[in-house]
Amino acid sequence: MDSHNIAKERYSISNALGNISANTLVIGISSDQLCPIQEQQELAEYIPKAHFEEIDSIYGHDGFLVEIQKTQALILHYFFG
């Protein structure tokens, strides 16, 4: 992941992410060190129709797998109201 450059041939990260037209839910895990919360917030900031939510978890990067009820609730609420 650290070697992938989404901005390659797109001039900037904001330009690349600004081209995403889908409604997007970005979920960050508070203790995730592989995908830090600040990077998830940045994604949501630059994707035009994005919404950011944070899950508080002690499980780090595995939080999205372990905290399935929290993740599911956010997804269902975002996409189905």
For the segment 60-78, what is each residue's pLDDT rounded down to a tens digit?
Answer: 999 999 999 999 999 999 9
Percentage, residues of the chain above pLDDT 90: 78
* Spatial contact of 49 and 23, defined as CB atoms under 8 Å apart: yes
Q: What is the pTM of this model?
A: 0.85
Tokens at residue 52, please?
A: 């950011």
Query: What's the confidence (pLDDT) of residue 2?
Result: 64
Q: What is the CA angle 25-28-34, rounded to 5? A: 130
| pLDDT average, residue stretch 24-47 | 96
State the average pLDDT for the chain.
Answer: 92
User: Residue 45 pLDDT more than 80?
Assistant: yes
Q: What tokens were used for 19? A: 């081209």
Q: Over 80: is that where the pLDDT of 31 sits?
A: yes
* Cβ contacts of 25 within 8 Å, gap of 6 or more: 50, 51, 53, 74, 75, 78, 79
